[in-house]
Amino acid sequence: MTEILTRAGMYESKPVAIPVPVSRPVSGSNQPFKDPTKYRSIAGALQYLTVTRPDLSYAVNLLCQHMHAPTDAHWAHLKWVLWYVKGTLHYGLVLRKSPNTDIHAYSDSNWASCPTDRKSTAALRFFWVLISFCGFAKRSVQWPDRLMRLSVLSGSAPKLWCDNLGATYMCTNPVFMHETYIEIDYHFVGDKVAAGELQVNFISTKDQLTDIFTKPLAAPRFAFLPGKLQVVALP
């Protein structure tokens, strides 16, 4: 982290509390940044940092979407991310032993959230000795379960948590499927639930851990989530 800040000439900068400003979404319209190689170098380094700092994932993902033609606005947002890094130099990812071998996956999406192209953002967070935090939840959740069954006896079927009550209803009640146009995905998940290979549960939005991967959050909400992802202040 200190190396990235030094390379950007921002080691002495002042910190901020969140990596993405809520009121200023990354925009594709502005003057081209005068040193795109520098932008790509620092954004690329931040990608590696997300391996142990998943709280940076959403912000870095936004920046890396503009590697081909960064603008002054994108550089301003990259600096904002670095200000957040400066204020969290003492943070790190902590892995702790747990007697529980169950897999818990938290899934969330932010539909049509990009202000420039209206593309959606989706995220997944696995909890089982911290395996993954990206991908398509319903299909990806099977991979760590199969991996775990090769090494230890799983306590129960993987549990998928989502804050969409309608989605949880469709997984357990065939009646709701007839009112949707997503029959392929529905049957895939429904079959897994019926076979006892997957549990789909509702979780309130305030407890949805993957919000941090799909949207900019205000400081109070954002401050609550890194610790839940095992990103904590190190001694």
What pTM does this model have? 0.73
Please provide the average confidence, as pLDDT, over all residues in the chain.
76
Contact 82, 8 (CB under 8 A): yes
Give residue 30's pLDDT band: very low, low, confident or very high (50, 70, 90): confident
Give residue 150's pLDDT band: very low, low, confident or very high (50, 70, 90): very low
Domains for the chain: give ranges and CATH numbers: 2-93 (no CATH), 104-229 (3.30.420)
Tell me the C-alpha distance between 102 and 145, whole Å. Answer: 9
**pLDDT at residue 133 in the model:** 46
Q: Has residue 159 got a pLDDT over 60?
A: yes
Contact 222, 212 (CB under 8 A): yes
Give residue 91's pLDDT band: very low, low, confident or very high (50, 70, 90): very high
**Model confidence pLDDT, tens digit, residues 1-25:** 999 999 999 999 999 999 998 876 5
Name the DSSP letter for residue 99: S
State the distance between the two ends of the chain, measured CA to CA, in whole angstroms. Answer: 16
